[in-house]
Amino acid sequence: MEPLKIFVVEDDSIYGKMLKYHLSLNPDYDVHLFDTGTEFLKNIYKNPSVVSLDFRLPDISGFEVIKKIQEFNPDLPIIIVSGQEDVSTAVDLLKVGVYDYVVKDEDTKERLWNIVKNIRKNLDLKKEINSLQEEIGKKYEFRKIIKGNSPQIQEVFKLIEKATKTNITVSITGETGTGKELVAKSIHYNSNRHRKPFVAINVSAVPSELIESEMFGYEKGAFTGAITRKIGKFEEAKDGTLFLDEIAEMDLNMQTKLLRVLQEKELTRLGGNSIVSIDPRIIVSTNKDLNNEVIKGNFREDLYYRLLGLPIVLPPLRYRGNDILILSKCFVDEFCKENKLNKLVISIKAQEKLMNYLFPGNVRELKAIVELATVLTNTDTIEENDISFHSTSTTSDFLIQEDTLQGYTKRIIKFYLNKHNNNVLLVAKKLDIGKSTIYRMIKNKEL
């Protein structure tokens, strides 16, 4: 563990040596003593972790020293040690940002010891949080976690790159399961706010009567059951990122309140009067066309333009070609590693089966399908029969993937043959075509 560097600034040499000796009893503390403010400021470049400062110095005022410290490092904890018990001065010092105020008496060294102990805990916690956030940042290197080489996904990468360089609002549009929250996290953890909180709220998952208190918080007694104060998602996000998922599901009344908060950068908790300043970056997502929702009267036009910012449209998986196979292999490898299974490969037939499916549930559905196939296989290879589709989509999805009339004909016949266990006579009857047509297509390997 790195020693805690403590600078003690005290013009009374005997008292200063006493404080230094007492703090140095902890072997993890590296204590340095200075008898003037000028000498201390000459050495501040050595980056102390804590400063114990005598407020009444002979060469420079305490307020001036504090100002210089905060110019060098605004987060450096300052403990004021003073021979004067002046309440108004103490209040003024706390207002300008000193960590604590201690009066010189018989308990000073113990109080100083406990204050430094608490600072050490806070600094260790902060380092741990920073370390975790660095790890999260590495985890969300978007070109590594968002898999694919298709032109569509490469275009998404370019837009994410642009989004990370500024604090512009981002609106992410895409079908369910395309990875909208993953993109939002990638933007946050690769931006200059990556050390700040990332807070997500799914608007569609919160009842309309609770959404305001969930977003803006409430004071104790604001309503029945409000037994304590609760901060909302905006305050929780602070100056980090607030991700509003499924924003199109927000009702018009709440849209009005949201617009005001975004414009004013301040809010009032339910049941309260005090104004709370907020400044999170906003990222929104939806699986609907917000412009169409505006035309229908379901979404405020002024809020639409306020949230549009940088639009990122995520392509459906069916438009991403070989990305299906890239993602499949990644999901299989990850699942095997997590569950301590031997490595598996996907057979050519299984790959063809995956490539011929529309994936209405997109990447989320693909992940579920290949993980199930990994469990079902009895060998080191995922075969065609190990892959099961349980689509809940409507037949209109069939037309999403554009094809020729001949191509559609093949797909329809193939679908019915699979459905009816390759019973050619039954399929010919159901489709009202000659069985010889199906036999011919089978013979010519068109099916």
> Are residues 268 and 359 part of one domain?
no
User: Which residues, 6 or more positions from 124, have their beta carbon under 8 angstroms from its beta carbon?
Assistant: none
> Are residues 86 and 208 part of one domain?
no
Closest CA to 246 of 198, 195, 287: 287
> Are residues 229 and 202 part of one domain?
yes
By the 8 A CB rule, do 105 and 115 touch?
A: no
By the 8 A CB rule, do 187 and 170 touch?
A: yes
Cβ count within 10 A of residue 101: 21
> Are residues 325 and 304 part of one domain?
no
Per-residue pLDDT tens digits for 391-400: 554 444 455 5
> Are residues 399 and 304 part of one domain?
no
For 214, list phi and psi in degrees, rounded to 5.
-70, -40
Domain end point (choices 132, 164, 199): 132
CATH number of the CATH domain containing 363: 1.10.8.60
> Are residues 166 and 286 part of one domain?
yes
Percent of the chain at pLDDT above 90? 58
Q: Are strands 345-346 and 381-382 parallel, antiparallel or unpaired?
A: parallel
Compute the distance between CA of residue 153 and CA of residue 175 in angstroms, rounded to an integer: 14
Q: How many domains does the chain have?
A: 3
Question: Burial code of 194-231, b = ≥16 C-beta within 10 A, e = fewer?
Answer: bebbbbbbebeebeeeebbbbbbbbbeebeeeeeeebe
Average pLDDT for runs of 10 along the chain of length 447: 87 90 91 92 92 89 90 90 79 85 86 90 76 55 78 93 95 95 93 92 93 93 86 93 97 96 94 91 96 95 96 93 93 94 94 91 95 94 92 50 76 77 85 88 83
pLDDT of residue 267: 94
By the 8 A CB rule, do 261 and 149 touch?
A: no
Per-residue pLDDT tens digits for 242-260: 999 999 999 999 999 999 9
DSSP letters for 341-353 = PPP-EE-HHHHHH
pLDDT of residue 75: 86
CATH number of the CATH domain containing 261: 3.40.50.300
For residue 434, CA distances in Å to 10, 409, 437 come to 102, 13, 5
> Are residues 162 and 72 part of one domain?
no
CATH number of the CATH domain containing 13: 3.40.50.2300
pLDDT of residue 405: 81
Run of H or E residues at 332: helix 323-338
Query: 């020693």: which residue's tokens?
Result: 3
- Domain extent for 209: 140-313
> Are residues 292 and 189 part of one domain?
yes
Per-residue pLDDT tens digits for 45-77: 999 999 999 988 888 988 899 999 998 988 899
**Greatest CA span in the chain, whole angstroms?**
109
